[in-house]
Structure 1
Amino acid sequence: MTDIALYQPNFADQWWSSLANFMTQGGPVLWGLALVAGMCWLVVVERVLFIALIFPNTHQSLVSRWESRDNQATWASRVIRDGWLFDAHTMLFRHLNFIKGLVAICPMLGLLGTVTGMITVFDVIATDGNSDPRSMAAGISMATLPTLAGMVIALAGMFAHARLFKACERREAALSKALRSQQ
């Protein structure tokens, strides 16, 4: 037995190799989809952290400021409360339309991948004829993988957006209820 150890790739190397192979088979549009998906999930994580960690402090601060007001039934107090509710709404629903837009882009990018993959297939047919299916396989995978990835990303993004939207609505309703006049 020799002292020279054979190189055995670890999990990260195998994972990266599989990902790079998948991205190569899907064509350049798949990289665009990966960028859009990364941006989408970065914003989703930011919103989840805001709702879970930052907004509860804002909620408590607004409630304590409202409860410390002497006369909550005056017109001035109601205008101040409405301003606070508007600011809270703006904070809660910030970036949700951006997430929705990124989700809407994903199927369109998948369709772009389908079109570019089919163009590759037609180029192969024009160059080599249609007698060799192996030469057309790369174009077919370039046509199907982006469509699949676009739909999967869009479905996951729609689910995340819907959950975030409902969570924001619940927190806004709870704040509105907490800021009602006590008199």
Structure 2
Amino acid sequence: MLFLIELWESVRSFIATGGNVLYVVAFALLLMWIMMIERYWFLSKVYPKMKNDIVGRWDAREDTTSWYAHRIRDTWISEATELLEQRMLTIRTLVAMCPLIGLLGTVTGMIGVFEVMAQQGTGNPRLMASGISMATIPTMAGMVAALSGVFFSSRLDAKVKLAKAKLIDSLPHH
């Protein structure tokens, strides 16, 4: 329990040093990871059953060569693709937004530095340093959040493309 309290205090100290923009970075990061975990769960648990159902329905059809049968096949592939690619655009958008949110923190931190300089002059480097720290920490946090998402979202994209290709290969058209 003491470990959790110390962890929470270090997080609060980090946010106090970096400013309130870090809450937005944390929210974007949390949302991004929830969506990525859901997609991994979908690909590993839900989609295989759905794929087996589609392949079973295709194999059970007597007519797999007519124009009508090919339209049914295309429809099933399209429906599965839509479910596979669900939330992927949102994940990629959140990955791209994290550095921009960090940049917003940089801008607000630099505004704070300029306000201190306007009020106190340039004679107090300690006050200026806290503003510069508030300007750089959100940028770093946004970059780290984006980097954590880039790798896993690209792996997720590859898994989605592979799953779609395997589904198409599992539904032969004669």
- Normalization by structure 1: what TM-score? 0.92
Check if 1:150 corresponds to 2:169: no
Check if 1:104 corresponds to 2:96: yes
User: Which whole-Å deviations, capped at 9, do the CAs of 1:48-99 have from their partners, x for residues lacking one?
Assistant: 1101100000010011111111121111111100000000100000100001
In 1, Cα distance between the equivalents of 2:146 and 2:2? 32
1:132 Cα shift?
Answer: 1.7
The percent of aligned pairs where both chains have the same amino acid is 41
Q: Secondary structure at the match of 1:50?
A: helix
Which residue, 6, 21, 27 being the options, matches 1:14? 6
Structure 1 moving runs of 4+ over 6 Å: none
More helix as a share of residues: 2
Check if 1:123 corresponds to 2:115: yes
Which residue, 20, 25, 32 being the options, matches 1:40? 32
Q: Secondary structure at the match of 1:98?
A: helix
Which residue, 65, 69, 72 being the options, matches 1:77? 69
Partner of 2:47: 55
Choose 84-93 or 66-75, whichever is displaced more: 66-75
Structure 2 unmatched ranges of 5 or more: none
In 1, Cα distance between the equivalents of 2:130 and 2:46? 48
Check if 1:172 corresponds to 2:174: no
1:137 Cα shift?
Answer: 2.1
Aligned length: 174
Q: Secondary structure at the match of 1:71?
A: coil
Structure 1 unmatched ranges of 5 or more: 1-8
User: Which whole-Å deviations, capped at 9, do the CAs of 1:17-68 have from their partners, x for residues lacking one?
Assistant: 0001001111011111111111111111111110110000001001111111
- Normalization by structure 2: what TM-score? 0.96
In 2, Cα distance between the equivalents of 1:97 and 1:47? 12
CA RMSD in angstroms, aligned pairs only = 1.1
Partner of 1:3: none
Partner of 2:132: 140
User: Which whole-Å deviations, capped at 9, do the CAs of 1:104-157 have from their partners, x for residues lacking one?
Assistant: 111111111111101111111111111221111221111000000111111221
Partner of 1:6: none
Partner of 2:56: 64
In 2, Cα distance between the equivalents of 1:133 and 1:48? 48
Choose 156-165 or 41-50, whichever is displaced more: 156-165
In 1, Cα distance between the equivalents of 2:111 and 2:15? 18
In 1, Cα distance between the equivalents of 2:127 and 2:134? 12
Q: Secondary structure at the match of 1:72?
A: coil
